[in-house]
Homo-oligomer: A and B are copies of this chain.
Amino acid sequence: MPTSDRPALTREAIVAAAVAFADREGLEALSMRRLADEVGCGTMSLYNHVDDKDDVHAAMVEHALADRAPDTDGLADDAWRPRLRAIAVDLLRVLTEHQWMSDLWNRAFPGPVRTALMEDVLATLRRGGFSPRMAHHGFHAFDLYVVGFAHQQATFTIGLEDPEATMQAFLDQTPAETHPHTVEHVMLHADDAVPDDDFAFMLDLLLDGIERHRAED
């Protein structure tokens, strides 16, 4: 059992493998045994670099969130609206690239990377002229919107193995006579496949709403 001549087991390597695996096979397929196979080590060897599965989850969020790169070049410090928009669009990109992230968002303990994002949003609001109380509300609304949207997208797009059949099953159980508006709604989903439109609408709803309260408290 040589301990050298192997690439050396690292926390970073483990977490990166976990992210890659979850991207490929989904979060619920990720077990400590499969992760060890992926890394190429015994199952229990993982525990030399990781506390437990929750620790892996938290580290995965941090790892994936690390390539966040909001495009705020040339934006003034107090240009809170375009800044928040850039942060939101970029965050949605990361959340979309890693479908498992929204699941973990509220479960995993926030690390430094997530905290930096938090500070970023809050600082943007405060520099934009919002009071601490309004920045508080704005932050929560922002978080809710972006992550919630990504979560819905993830569960509806990927969570279902056969979206077409699932939608048909849903329509079969909701007669148009008693649920005309629901059927109409589902049809809108079937027609245009543009969730980008939804996201932009909700984001503007949020930003517009916040702006109206900028002077308060």
Contact = CB atoms under 8 A, between A and B. Distances in A.
Interface stretch (A70-78, A79-87, A199-207): A199-207
A159 B105 CA distance: 13
Contacts of A173: 111-112, 115
Contacts of A188: 132-133, 136
Nearest to A156: B106
A166 B54 CA distance: 15
Interface in A110-163: 110-112, 115-116, 118-119, 122-123, 126, 132-133, 135-137, 139-141, 143-145, 147-149, 151-152, 155-156, 159
Contact of A115 (B119, B179, B209): B179
Contact of A144 (B106, B110, B145): B145
A165 to B, nearest CB: 12
Given A144-B149, A208-B212, A209-B205, A185 B118 contact: yes
Contact of A184 (B122, B156, B208): B122
Contact of A159 (B106, B116, B145, B166): B106
A148 B144 contact: yes
A147 B116 CA distance: 26
Copies of this subunit: 2
Contacts of A6: none
A115 to B, nearest CB: 5
A152 B151 CA distance: 13
Interface of A: 106-107, 109-112, 115-116, 118-119, 122-123, 126, 132-133, 135-137, 139-141, 143-145, 147-149, 151-152, 155-156, 159, 166, 169-170, 173-174, 178-179, 181-182, 184-185, 188, 198, 201-202, 205-206, 208-210, 212-213
